Structure 1
Amino acid sequence: MARMTMIEAIRDAMDVMMARDERVVVFGEDVGYFGGVFRCTAGLQQKYGKTRCFDAPISESGIVGTAIGMASYGLLPCIEIQFADYMYPAYDQIVSEAARLRYRSNGEFTCPMVIRMPTGGGIFGGQTHSQSPEALFTHVSGLKTVVPSNPRDAKGLLIAAIEDPDPVIFLEPKRLYNGPFDGHHDRPVTPWSKHDLSEVPTGHFNLPLGKASILREGAALTVLAYGTMVYVAQAAVEETGIDAEIIDLRTLIPLDLETIAASVRKTGRCVVVHEATLTSGFGAELAALVQENCFFHLEAPVARVTGWDTPYPHAQEWDYFPGSARVGRALVETMEA
Structure 2
Amino acid sequence: MRNLPVTRGQVTLDAAAKTPYIVTDGPAPAPTDPHWGEGAAVKDPSFHSGDLASWSVPGTGATVTRNARGQNELTMAAGASPTVSQRLTGLIPGTYAASVWVTTPTGRATTLAVTPTGGARASVYADSSPLTNNLGGSDKNGTTSQRMKVLFDVPAGRDTATLTLSAATGPGTVRLDDVRVVRSARTPLDGHWFAEDFENVDAGWGPFVFGGAGGWATDPRTHMAQRNAPYTQAGWNGKLVDDVIGGQNSLKSHEERPGLVYRTLPQTLRLTAGRTYRVNFRHENGFDGDYRFVVGSGATETTTALGRARTPTTFTKTFTAGADAWFGVRKVTPEDSHDQADLVLDDLTVDDLGAGAAKNCSCPGSG
TM-score (norm 1): 0.32
Q: Which has the higher strand share?
A: 2
Between Structure 1 and Structure 2, whose CA radius of gyration is higher? 2
Greater RCO, CA 8 A, separation 6+: 1
> Which structure carries more helix by proportion?
1
